[in-house]
Structure 1
Amino acid sequence: MEEKSVNKTNSNGYTFMFAVVMVVVVASVLAFAATSLKPTQQENVRREKMQNILATVGIETSREGAQEQYDKYIVEELALDSNGEVDESANAFEVDLAKELKKPVEEQIFPLYIADVEGEKYYVVPLRGNGLWNAIFGYISIKDDINTVKGATFDHVGETPGLGAEITKEWFKESFENEKIFDENGNLVGVSVVKGDIDPSDKDDNKVDAISGATITGDGVSDMISERLKRYLPYFRKQGDIKVAIK
């Protein structure tokens, strides 16, 4: 009985040690893989960001070709402060909007990308807000009149497939094209996602048709567009070459 007890103890100890060694080995392999893949993952994120910025001005490109097209069409990257002044100490492309939004407005940095496509100038503004379940984000480009939307792109962290997640679909993004961000009185109102009888051909109503069953996500899109765009008014007011008056 004593010999059997010793054997049983040795067997349990071996199993425990084997499990510990395997956990350490697997954790080391995963840590090494994560460290090794991190530069590639970061580069993919960077190029995807370029793709999204370019998409708002009508330039579609592969991830592999994103850098070349970005360098061709994006002629300026500006990091603005809340007064519309350029902050030379900040890198616009590296600004993390999620972190900026946690700061008071007067301490935030506002990235702005200026594109030149066949002689036409566009201003691309990053967007970030709240959907139903988590963050929603994207980019919106404004034509040189500082009023007409050229294009928009949206994404999300965890909206519901078939409902809020529809903000990523082409039909939804295309509905923003040529919409106005100022109302007839010159007030910046953005573009609202609205339920009801919306005429898609009316580009002066500051509205696009809502996604069925996704009211909260649609409201989030509306809010983040108007909230983000108004932060750039101080900059646009300082520009002497814009084609319309900004109130």
Structure 2
Amino acid sequence: MNRNSNAYTFIFAIVMVLVVASVLAFTATSLQPIQNENVRQEKMQNILRTVGVEVERAEAKENFDKYIKQEIALRADGTADESVDAFKVDLAKELKRPVDKQIYPLYVAEVEGEKYYIIPLRGSGLWDAIWGYISLKDDVNTVKGVVFDHKGETTGLGGEITKAWFQQRFEDEKIFDSAGNLVGVSVVKGYGGGNDKDDNAVDAISGATITGDGVTNMISERLKHYLPYFEEQTDMKVAVK
């Protein structure tokens, strides 16, 4: 075939595209198990961070098994579904299902003799999904810690929800108000409450009102689904606001 012909150029281009596509597909398939394991380990790290356990990724599995005593997949009525692996529940998919059909993962941790309940979160920010975890102390009211992440919030604005200085604001905040209503923790623009841990609010990030509202809504919306379980496990008598 004439190497200077259009036909040769066209065929050569097709062959090269197929070769490159095959190499990329093979590489992606080969790396998938490693990528999946990295995601698993990062998830374990984030869950542990909410209860004050900071570990390297390589140590995540060992410490997760050490501190997480239960992984429970809850139905909407607060009962456990033993057929579901709580760790594998994908909240992005669950949120597309009717509320009464969703599965609600719960992790029970024990650190230095203290018990904590860790709840996965997912909601919407300004541009895309936001998610994270919130841990509650044994009173099921006081926040031990939080971890937040996002898909596409603006760097320096909404993206600041991933920063330690913002997440630390939630520590020791209460999720129930003085009347026993579940209100979560609100991210409030122009907050003037100082270090008040009983007002169910923290200071917002300047210039990130919509992302802050997303965090507020995400916390209260997810937490309310766990009330049936907590009421069954404790003597809680609360209203849901």
Name the TM-score class by shorter chain.
over 0.9
Counterpart among 134, 147, 152 of residue 128 in structure 2: 134
CA distance in 1 between partners of 2:180 and 2:8 (Å): 78
Q: 1:19-66 CA deviation, whole Å, 9 max, x = no partner? A: 011000000000000000000000000000000000000000111000
Please say if residues 121 and 143 of structure 1, whose CA atoms lie closer than 8 Å, have aligned partners that are also in contact: yes
Give the match for residue 11 of structure 1. Answer: 5
Which amino acid is the alignment partner of residue 117 of structure 2?
Answer: Y
Which amino acid is the alignment partner of residue 187 of structure 2?
Answer: V
Counterpart among 24, 48, 55 of residue 54 in structure 1: 48
Within a 5 Å distance, the mapping from 1:62-141 to structure 2 comes to: 62-141=56-135
Is the alpha carbon distance of 1:12 and 1:69 closer, same or farther for their aligned partners in structure 2, counting shifts above 3 Å? same
Please say if residues 2 and 8 of structure 2, whose CA atoms lie closer than 8 Å, have aligned partners that are also in contact: no
Give the match for residue 14 of structure 2. Answer: 20
Counterpart among 206, 215, 221 of residue 221 in structure 1: 215
CA distance in 2 between partners of 1:32 and 1:197 (Å): 52
CA distance in 1 between partners of 2:2 and 2:36 (Å): 52
- Count of residues in Structure 1 that have an aligned counterpart in Structure 2: 239
Overall identity of the aligned pairs, in %: 69
CA distance in 1 between partners of 2:170 and 2:2 (Å): 74
CA distance in 2 between partners of 1:208 and 1:197 (Å): 7
- Secondary structure class of the residue paired with 2:146: strand
Please say if residues 173 and 200 of structure 2, whose CA atoms lie closer than 8 Å, have aligned partners that are also in contact: yes
Which amino acid is the alignment partner of residue 91 of structure 2?
Answer: L
1:161 lines up with 2:132 in the alignment: no
CA distance in 2 between partners of 1:7 and 1:144 (Å): 79
Q: Which has the larger radius of gyration?
A: 1
CA distance in 2 between partners of 1:7 and 1:51 (Å): 60
Q: Please identify runs of 4+ aligned residues in structure 1 that moved more than 3 A.
A: 244-247
Cα drift, residue 17 of structure 1: 1.1
> Taking structure 2 as the reference length, what is the TM-score of the superposition?
0.96
State the Cα RMSD in Å: 1.3
Cα drift, residue 197 of structure 1: 3.6
**Structure 2, unpaired ranges of 5+:** none
Give the match for residue 206 of structure 2. Answer: 212
CA distance in 1 between partners of 2:220 and 2:123 (Å): 11
Cα drift, residue 200 of structure 1: 3.5
- Secondary structure class of the residue paired with 2:130: strand
- Secondary structure class of the residue paired with 1:65: helix
Please say if residues 151 and 174 of structure 1, whose CA atoms lie closer than 8 Å, have aligned partners that are also in contact: yes
**Structure 1, unpaired ranges of 5+:** 1-5
